[in-house]
Structure 1
Amino acid sequence: MTDSSSTVRRNASRVRWQQTTTAILCGTTLVTIPILGNAQETGEGSDDNEGYRLAPIIVNAQAYADDDANSIVAQELWVGGKVATSILDTPASVSVITEKEIEQRNASTTEEVLQYTPGVLTDYYGTDDRNDYFKIRGFEATTYRDGLTLGSMRGVREEPYAFERVEVLRGANSTLFGPADPGGSVNFVSKRPRFERFGEGYLSYGSFDAKEAGVDVGDTLNADETVAYRFTGTIRDSDREYDHSKDNNGFLMGGLAWEPTEYTSASVIFDYLKRDDTPNSGGYPLDREYDRSDFFGEPGFNYHDVERTSLTGQLTHDFNNGLTLRGNLRYSDLTDDFGYVYITDSAARVGSVVDRDYFGTDNEAQELIGNAILQYDARFDQVDSSTLVGVEYRDASTEDSSFYGDATSIDIANPVFSGAPSSLNVYSSNKQDFTTESVFLTQNLSFYDRFIVTAGVRNDSMDVSSTNMAGVTDSDDFSETSLRGALTYRVTDEISTYVSMVESVAPPTIGIDPERGEQYEIGAKYSPFGTNALFSAAIYDLTRDDVTISVVQDNGVIERETVGESRVRGLDLEAKAELTDSFSVAGGYSYMESEVVRDSNADREGNEFTAAPKHTASLWGYYTLPSQDMSIGLGARYIGSYYFDVANTSKSSAATLFDAAFSYQLTQDADLAVNVSNLLDEQHVVGSSTADYYNPGREISAKVSYRW
């Protein structure tokens, strides 16, 4: 056991350590909400009547502290660290999916984690399972892990059991993170060592013969409790809902944390991800609705092998004079190979024989990314100031070869498989190198604990080179500056409003100007005292300029030109609340108007985006019976209709899907949970071109977990 002063020192140190990476860049001055015994620190400058001040700003002493394992409501935005920024004071539309919500819904993919988040559309490619597919506000989204971009690793399907929470930031954000897509960002926050003993293990079985086991354990390693470890792992052996499929994967993650003093901390995390599954069902013919179990690909050529290793290190030192230094570094290595056969149907087809093609990619990638950040906090009478300056460096390389060609046709009335293609037509082979050097500055000023002014600027110098299969090397360099500005007004200690302007710069392509995004947003947030709840609303106007499109030249050659412009305007509403100790609810609604403003093909101007429904809504409720040993959950997701193609000639049908959950406490430390997704087994087309792709069917899983 440790004495009380040691506990205070360790808790205060933990708070400092957890403010890592770009959590400090969220555009508001940083705060910490009082957390049990961490609320105050004994020592010089402490005040028994105020919460501990990490950075000058309003300290909401009545707010609930975040506990992602036991609450679906988050009041703080970590964006790569912990206990960093009050969501109420963040001038942006954000959502946080906590560990508890992920567990309630038994979300096993990023698509499932995000499918109850307003402004986000997931799974619009159906049984194409190579990646996690999602869009935010009609555009692609950039993914991060602990605040550092995943870059060339972004196509990998992440393991949700590895994360304490998943954060969604809607809208452009290059000033915070560098080159990014305009729709927004998804940040995965890794599970980290805790300075206490804990453990969890589980076994589960479900639809499609899905067998899974997992463990998450940790403790301190020395007598004075300055070193802690954590080990997390899962293994899965399963089929998918279509024939001749598999969905096998394994994940291991180990971490060490060292806190020699209350002012200095360091951590290192190693993780390994391996997937051995099938990438695609091959699609379904266009003439009618088929059973999801049907398979029209090729069993002998339907593979997806992924192997990724990452090593992350973080260091924080508080100089105890308002100045804090943070450093973050990560190296990742990835191999990602897949190949499959898919049908190429046509509405004009006569008979039951359908053409097929094959497609695949062999890919290798390495990435080194790191940053160093200085933060200085000061208070001048009624003005609080937080200044951040930092540098970031990223060096990434990829080698890939892609193959594509005709495959043997198949008779869908009597499928006979012909085996893998006898030879592969490699149409593209490239070796690419990306180097980015960045510098950024953010200034936050709080006046009279009510007005918060945020200003930020970032410059990214990017060098890109590519060598094709003929040995020809091409290169280009870019220097892009992005700006951010916002004004937040705290109407009361429970209500805040804001107006913001943010910019984005998409990762560039050789010879093409980077696509730029610009968003204007007005929003409001409400966190009532006495209730663990957060309500938010935002209206926005998001424009993407310099859109790259393919243009047919006079000589018949197709070249890519930067001539386009597109825009989305909309509304996002979200509510998350734990209304009682037994009942929680999460709901959201989004309205979105998308438009192609300029296009080389005038016929497409005025069209809507693909996979951009005007209306989406969701509601999830979870209730624990008075006996406290049984809980039930029920959710509904509504996805409005959207276009499949840029010409706006084919469209999906609107659909509502239901999910359910049941949990029973077997003993004080053991639980049984049963989850059903798509409860009514509703089937509809989510993507269509040369084939139809359906939404996932009903899946049932049962899990027994034990905690200590």
Structure 2
Amino acid sequence: MPPHPHRLGLAIALAFASPAIAQNPPPEPASTRLATVEVSGQVLDRRDLLQQGETNSVTGFDLSIKDTPRAVTSVSAELIDLLNIRDLNDITTLTPGTFTSSFFGVAGSIDIRGTPGENYFRGVRRVDNPGNIPTPIAASDRLDIVRGPASPIYGPSKIGGYVNFVPKSARAESGAYLDKAVGEVSFTTGSWDRAVLEAEYGYKFNADATPVGYYLYGLHENSDSYYRNDGTRQSVLQAAFDSDINERTRVEFGVQYHNYHGNQNAGWNRLSQDLIDSGTYLAGTPLLNLDSDQSGRLSQAEIIAAGGLSAFVFAPGLTTAGPVASFGPNGANAVFALDPASVHQVQLSRKNVLIDPEDFLATDTTTAYFDFHHTLNNGVQLTNKLFFDSLDTELQNSYGFSQVIDTYVLEDQLIASWQWDASPNVQADFEFSPSVRHTRAKLAEDFLFEFLDRRDLSQGPSANDRIETAGLFDSAQFVNDLTTDYTDYGLAALSNLTLYQRWHALLGLRYDVLDIQSRQARTATAGDAGQQASDTDSGLSWTASLGYDLTDNIRPYLTASTQRTVITGQGGEVSLANVELGALNASRLYEAGIKGNFLDGRLFTAVSAYRQTRTNFSSQNLSTNTSTRGKGIELEARYVVSDWLSLIGNSAWQDVINTNISAGGQFAFFNPANSGIAPENSFGGTVSGLIDGRNKRSGIPDRVSSLTAIVKPTDILEVFATVTDVASMPSGFSGVVRLPGYTVVNLGSSVSIGQFEVQGFINNLFNERYFRANASDLFGSNLVLPERPRSWTVRLRYRF
């Protein structure tokens, strides 16, 4: 039986309850710790554009962005607020290589360098979240976007990279040194009845004469949506506490709770190039009404009785349902056809998407941490980090998909760090870290009766296209009902060497042992129902970087890394097949770059070139962790020109190849242009098959560039403009539909008078018509998400 989270947590706590623990010494008292204004030369860097602070979320060592031998961008809460960054998809304006295709409209995580990324919370990996709940950007104090796999100190990770989320409640670290309480209250409104209320408060209290800093944050949103039948209801609560018990010992602990109610958004169906280019949609309802019992929806039994609505193309002109010629109103496969009397072309509104008023996505997450820091007499600093994260999701889509997820992770890291000054010319920092991470993942999903094109979006849902799904209707069964338990035992060592004040070498090594077991429930309809698989896998990860200070302000670097990756699904589960093939796969990165500070520190630039590969692609998950080989070049610049003008620019060129193509091609759902079946003869059901010939990853452009200008003409007024230019891209793996490139302009302003602030924003100023590919590897030739038109936002804030 897998360990219960509370018992496992107690065992870990007892195992590491030694006089331990801190990676960094207690911070120096400073009543201005919450301030974000920094001085670079004689110019004020109000929004921390120049990223001059240190972060340990990349290598494990406290290094500045310039001195970190990896491509990384840090984005402050002040910059997120000023530029009205609404979700993770907007991060593209601030960091290169992060353009993200849609995962059914939910910005849970981002694509980095063309492959799915991960989310970290204060440097610890969270439960996988491709599209279960949007990451609450507004609740962050800082985002660190790391491109490429994580350092070995953090354990197995995906090749693309990750976003390290530092919560606003992290400001508790400075609460013990505040002379008075600080906080703010804000209300945000905007297009489509947007309504968001936020409040935060920080101060200190004494516990047995020991000051304890605390910070509280809350968000509540009740907003409608541009899309019909959509909306967002969510609440985020954070609390954090920080205390120096004595000169050598400090504790940090906190919690975040996020409750979300909304929808997944599949966007437009019945995709064609004409629909993209001119908005012309093929309307029409299915020829045959399969709702024989007049229940108002289709049961799985009714669909089976009609002969089924799925066909697989196994040879040109031939499908598992019969030859292509048999599809049509007068053929043997008339059940796939639309009623000829109803077929016509219409102009489709971008508001009309594949969301039923009955659909819902309900998710709760709870994240908690407890860090205990201690410095030994010999100067060794010890840190024990205990971390918990849970994800509970229920999803229902009436076009035939449902999902239930109940997953948690519990992790403990013990980190010992010390310094060694061998001579004036040789200095070194070291870290040694054993860790254990347990995951219990449970996912149940129903997808065999998922028919995306059956519904006519110009008319909306009907009894003949609403499907009874498992979890909501007793008549339906889950296809997969997987439970996975796995424990990762890791041992890592890192060193950061400085030689002759100019040469810098970062070396890391990690060994992981993964004990894993997956079980398919007997009630599942999958072919492996009632079966289980278990394995003990192991692997070595390493990283090596070399940098050289050409001057005090310019450092080129080279990095090579091999990192282990656990191939999981949408709920963190691992399929039985992937357990048997080996769930612990490998990724490899080669990166070269140069970073520099110029013009008295007012200009920061970074250029990186990379090549990265999933080296073992026997195991894969098409929706969350595809096997890829990518290469690219990324440029980034931040320039504080003067007290009143700042500039941010970035650009990325990338080429991402799918490496998991079998001899027959990659499985995908077919567009009529792939199947050879006329649209009006196939949209009543689903046609799939293997697509051969192309191997470039779809839904990802090969070039994205962005430029932002921030102007502060007076002490009370600040304005900005952002321009983002995206190249065209294929929507799906087959490439039969291509999404046009686009340029989007956003504007905003902020007026501050005393403790009050008013902000106003216009997104998509010129009302650009553009699209984002939706789950591109599987459904990219069938679905596309039309993006929102011009919109406005106003925020009122009071600070104290």
- Where on the TM-score scale, by shorter chain, does this alignment land: which range? 0.7 to 0.9
Residue 653 of structure 1 aligns to which amino acid in structure 2?
A: P
The residue number in structure 2 matching 1:448 is 500
Of the structure 1 ranges 144-153 and 230-239, higher mean CA displacement relative to structure 2 is found in: 144-153
The residue number in structure 2 matching 1:215 is 199
Which secondary structure state, in structure 2, belongs to the residue aligned with residue 89 of structure 1?
coil
Higher relative contact order (CA 8 A, sep 6+): 2
Partners of 2:484 and 2:630 in 1: CA distance:
32
1:189 and 2:133 equivalent? no
Select the residue among 405, 408, 417 that pairs with 2:462: 417
Residue 73 of structure 2 aligns to which amino acid in structure 1?
A: S
The residue number in structure 2 matching 1:679 is 765
Residue 207 of structure 1 aligns to which amino acid in structure 2?
A: S
Q: Are the equivalent residues in 2 in contact too, given 1:610–1:644 (CA < 8 A)?
A: yes
Select the residue among 784, 788, 795 that pairs with 1:696: 788
Per the TM alignment, residue 684 of structure 1 is displaced from its structure 2 partner at its CA by 2.1
Q: TM-score normalized by structure 2? A: 0.74
Per the TM alignment, residue 79 of structure 1 is displaced from its structure 2 partner at its CA by 4.1
Q: Are the equivalent residues in 2 in contact too, given 1:33–1:83 (CA < 8 A)?
A: no
Q: Are the equivalent residues in 1 in contact too, given 2:365–2:390 (CA < 8 A)?
A: yes
Partners of 1:672 and 1:38 in 2: CA distance:
24
Per the TM alignment, residue 425 of structure 1 is displaced from its structure 2 partner at its CA by 3.9
1:166 and 2:153 equivalent? no
Which string of whole-angstrom CA distances, capped at 9 and with x for unpartnered residues, describes residues 581-628 of structure 1?
Answer: 222211101111233467323775773222332211111111111x32
Per the TM alignment, residue 365 of structure 1 is displaced from its structure 2 partner at its CA by 1.1
Which secondary structure state, in structure 2, belongs to the residue aligned with residue 103 of structure 1?
helix
Residue 183 of structure 1 aligns to which amino acid in structure 2?
A: G
Would the alpha carbon gap of residues 707 and 69 (structure 1) be closer, same or farther in structure 2, given more than 3 Å must change?
farther
Which secondary structure state, in structure 2, belongs to the residue aligned with residue 208 of structure 1?
coil
1:579 and 2:641 equivalent? yes
The residue number in structure 2 matching 1:4 is none
Of the structure 1 ranges 74-83 and 378-387, higher mean CA displacement relative to structure 2 is found in: 74-83
Residue 97 of structure 1 aligns to which amino acid in structure 2?
A: V
Equivalences for 1:253-652 in 2 at 5 Å?
A: 253-280=238-265, 282-287=267-272, 288=275, 289=279, 290-300=348-358, 302-319=359-376, 321-341=378-398, 357-381=399-423, 382-404=425-447, 405=449, 409-415=454-460, 417-418=462-463, 421-422=467-468, 423=473, 424-470=476-522, 471-508=530-567, 509-513=578-582, 514-528=584-598, 530-548=600-618, 566-596=628-658, 599-601=661-663, 604=692, 607-625=695-713, 627-652=714-739
Partners of 1:339 and 1:210 in 2: CA distance:
24
Would the alpha carbon gap of residues 565 and 187 (structure 1) be closer, same or farther in structure 2, given more than 3 Å must change?
closer
Partners of 1:699 and 1:32 in 2: CA distance:
46
Per the TM alignment, residue 516 of structure 1 is displaced from its structure 2 partner at its CA by 1.9
Equivalences for 1:133-148 in 2 at 5 Å?
A: 133-148=109-124
Which secondary structure state, in structure 2, belongs to the residue aligned with residue 88 of structure 1?
coil
Per the TM alignment, residue 152 of structure 1 is displaced from its structure 2 partner at its CA by 3.9
Would the alpha carbon gap of residues 264 and 21 (structure 1) be closer, same or farther in structure 2, given more than 3 Å must change?
closer
Partners of 1:319 and 1:589 in 2: CA distance:
46
CA RMSD, 1 decimal? 3.2
Of the structure 1 ranges 628-637 and 404-413, higher mean CA displacement relative to structure 2 is found in: 404-413
Select the residue among 85, 95, 98 that pairs with 1:120: 98
Unaligned stretches of 5+ residues in structure 2: 1-19, 280-347, 523-529, 568-577, 666-691, 774-779
Residue 368 of structure 2 aligns to which amino acid in structure 1?
A: L
Which string of whole-angstrom CA distances, capped at 9 and with x for unpartnered residues, describes residues 246-276 of structure 1?
Answer: 1110001111111122322101102211001
Q: TM-score normalized by structure 1? A: 0.83
Per the TM alignment, residue 367 of structure 1 is displaced from its structure 2 partner at its CA by 1.5
1:242 and 2:227 equivalent? yes
Partners of 1:86 and 1:261 in 2: CA distance:
28
Which string of whole-angstrom CA distances, capped at 9 and with x for unpartnered residues, describes residues 468-506 of structure 1?
Answer: 122322112210111110111111111111111011222
Partners of 1:377 and 1:653 in 2: CA distance:
53
Q: Are the equivalent residues in 2 in contact too, given 1:65–1:75 (CA < 8 A)?
A: no
Structure with the greater alpha carbon radius of gyration: 2
Per the TM alignment, residue 567 of structure 1 is displaced from its structure 2 partner at its CA by 2.2
Would the alpha carbon gap of residues 416 and 463 (structure 1) be closer, same or farther in structure 2, given more than 3 Å must change?
closer
Partners of 1:671 and 1:111 in 2: CA distance:
26
Partners of 1:330 and 1:494 in 2: CA distance:
37
Residue 705 of structure 1 aligns to which amino acid in structure 2?
A: R
Partners of 1:239 and 1:480 in 2: CA distance:
48
Would the alpha carbon gap of residues 77 and 517 (structure 1) be closer, same or farther in structure 2, given more than 3 Å must change?
farther
Residue 243 of structure 1 aligns to which amino acid in structure 2?
A: R
Partners of 1:619 and 1:606 in 2: CA distance:
33
Partners of 2:53 and 2:382 in 1: CA distance:
21
Q: Are the equivalent residues in 2 in contact too, given 1:66–1:75 (CA < 8 A)?
A: no
Which secondary structure state, in structure 1, belongs to the residue aligned with residue 434 of structure 2?
strand
Per the TM alignment, residue 110 of structure 1 is displaced from its structure 2 partner at its CA by 2.0
The residue number in structure 1 matching 2:215 is 230
Partners of 1:573 and 1:86 in 2: CA distance:
18
Partners of 2:719 and 2:107 in 1: CA distance:
31
Would the alpha carbon gap of residues 216 and 72 (structure 1) be closer, same or farther in structure 2, given more than 3 Å must change?
farther
Would the alpha carbon gap of residues 432 and 33 (structure 1) be closer, same or farther in structure 2, given more than 3 Å must change?
closer
Length, aligned pairs only: 631
Partners of 2:498 and 2:357 in 1: CA distance:
62
Q: Are the equivalent residues in 1 in contact too, given 2:127–2:391 (CA < 8 A)?
A: no
Partners of 1:307 and 1:532 in 2: CA distance:
43
Select the residue among 148, 157, 161 that pairs with 1:180: 157
Q: Are the equivalent residues in 1 in contact too, given 2:353–2:457 (CA < 8 A)?
A: no
Partners of 1:429 and 1:69 in 2: CA distance:
51
The residue number in structure 2 matching 1:664 is 751
Would the alpha carbon gap of residues 488 and 690 (structure 1) be closer, same or farther in structure 2, given more than 3 Å must change?
same
Partners of 1:607 and 1:705 in 2: CA distance:
49
Hey, which of these two has a bigger chunk of strand by percent? Answer: 1
Q: Are the equivalent residues in 2 in contact too, given 1:66–1:74 (CA < 8 A)?
A: no
Unaligned stretches of 5+ residues in structure 1: 1-19, 25-29, 40-60, 342-356, 551-558
The residue number in structure 1 matching 2:334 is none
